[in-house]
Amino acid sequence: MLRRPEAELDSIKSALQSVFSDPVVSRLLASSNLTKIQFETLMIHFLLDENFGRQVRYSLKGLMRSSRFPRGGRKPKFSRGVSKGAFRRVLGQACRNVIKSIYTLVLLGYVGLLDTPNLFPYLELSNIVSSYREQLERGDLPLHLRKLEESLVKMIEQYAEPFRLVSAI
C-alpha cells in the first residue's frame, strides 16, 4: 500500500520530534561536535531519502527543517523551514564534522590513545544503544529504560573520561 507524500512527511516530522525528545539523544548531542541544527539537518536529509527511496529535492528538505531552535529546551518549530541554500550549507557543515569525527576515532585507535585500536568497547556500546532504541520503540517499562539509559550514559562517560580536560587547568 502506497502512502501519500503528506503522510510520509508527517511521519518524518513525528520521528524527528521523538528523536529530539529522547533524553539519550539530548545528552549525546550536547557533547558531540554537531550543533542541534546540523543534527536535525542530517536526520532530515537521510530520513527523507530513505523513506522516499530516492533523493528528495533540497527545497523540500529545507521546508522540513526548523528555522531555528528556540532557547530554553523547547521543541523546534517545523512550520517555517529554511531556504534550499541554507539547508545545503548546514548539511555540508554537518557532514564535514561527522567525517572529522570518524577520522579522529580511527586516528586515536591507530596510535593507541584509545583503550584498544580494534574499537571493541565501542561496538559493545553500539549494541547497548541499539538495544535501548529497540526497547524504547516497543514501549518497555520506563523504569527498565531509565536503568538502561543510565548505564549507557555511564559507559559513554567512561570512554570519554581520559580525554576530558581538568577544569582547574
Helix (H, G, I), strand (E, B) or coil at 91: helix
Residue 97 near residue 33 (C-beta atoms within 8 A) = yes
Q: What is the pLDDT of residues 76-120, one digit of tens each?
A: 444 568 889 999 999 999 999 999 988 887 787 778 776 655 667
Instruction: Give the integer Cα–Cα distance in Å for 115 and 108.
Output: 9
Instruction: Give the integer Cα–Cα distance in Å for 155 and 20.
Output: 21
Q: What is the pTM of this model?
A: 0.72
Taking 50 as the pLDDT cut, the residues of the chain under it are 1-2, 76-78, 167-169
